């Protein structure tokens, strides 16, 4: 069984539309959808925003659904100038940018784990699937919708991600993140928490993020619309190639 999580239902709606043999269960105010997706047994759920919400959801998935792999997919804000709207980041190292238990521990270090970040493994298959998705991009993404969000030549990168319980929407915040975590390419609110739970339970995990904005003072897009028409279909295309 493969677990698939997003912070918003809009981010996985296209996957839900393709899910077959569906059964549902409600736990902790969340609905878990089990079924088959492109021939694979999966369970889909949206966690809600933030590190606590995603950690709770991930723990429930692992304990109740016997998953062997977890994939988190959703949107993120770019904090590296090389990224544009519509680009894809496959997470490499996941940092909690708001983790600071100093002077007891160094900044970013997770108490007792003795790690400042958690790292995904074996990205080759997912990167290949993402590149195949980009080769057939217009089969999944309406060109007019892409144009509406100023998406031109989307690309995929395998880079570090910063997570924290803050919505980053100012250039000052970006400068601060660039200073304290210079390798991070994007910022979001769940990935590093998912990574920590998966690490502690020894579950392989992947983080897929679609750049929806530049996390600055212009970060005013219609997030539900972007998630539903763009990010959700990115997830559909990438995971179809991945499961094939």
Active site residues per annotation: 11, 213
* Residue 72, burial from CB neighbour count under 10 angstroms (0-12, 13-18, 19+): buried
Cα torsion angle, 79, 81, 82, 88, sign: positive
Helices (H), 101-148: 124-135, 143-148
Instruction: For residue 176, count CB atoms less than 10 angstroms from its CB and return exposed for 0-12, middle for 13-18, buried for 19 or more.
Output: middle
Report whether the peptide linkage leading into residue 174 is cis, meaning its omega lies within 30 degrees of zero: no
Measured from the Cβ of residue 71, the count of other Cβ atoms closer than 10 Å reads: 23
Q: Which residue from 65, 63, 68 is spatially nearest to 44, judged by alpha carbons?
A: 65
190: phi then psi, degrees, rounded to nearest 5: -140, -35
Q: Which residue has the tokens 């021939």?
A: 39
């Amino acid at each position: 069984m493969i677990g698939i999580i997003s912070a918003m239902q809009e981010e996985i709606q296209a996957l839900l539309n393709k899910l077959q043999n569906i059964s549902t269960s409600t736990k902790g105010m969340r609905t878990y959808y089990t079924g088959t997706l492109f021939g694979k047994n999966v369970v889909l759920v949206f966690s809600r925003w933030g590190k606590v919400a995603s950690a709770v959801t991930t723990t429930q998935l692992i304990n109740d659904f016997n998953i062997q792999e977890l994939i988190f997919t959703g949107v993120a804000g770019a904090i590296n100038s090389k990224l544009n709207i519509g680009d894809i980041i496959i997470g490499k190292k996941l940092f909690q940018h708001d983790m600071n238990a100093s002077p007891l521990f160094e900044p970013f270090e997770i108490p007792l784990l003795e790690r400042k970040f958690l790292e995904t493994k074996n990205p080759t298959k997912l990167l290949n699937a993402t590149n195949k998705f980009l080769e057939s991009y217009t089969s999944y993404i309406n060109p007019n919708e892409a144009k509406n969000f100023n998406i031109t030549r989307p690309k995929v990168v395998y880079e570090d991600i910063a997570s924290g319980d803050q919505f980053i929407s100012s250039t000052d915040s970006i400068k601060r993140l660039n200073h304290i975590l210079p390798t991070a390419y994007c910022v979001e609110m769940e990935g590093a928490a998912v990574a920590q739970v998966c690490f502690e339970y020894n579950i392989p995990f992947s983080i897929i993020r679609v750049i929806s904005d530049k996390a600055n003072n212009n970060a005013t897009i219609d997030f539900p619309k972007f998630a539903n028409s763009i990010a959700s279909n990115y997830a559909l295309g990438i995971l179809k190639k991945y499961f094939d």
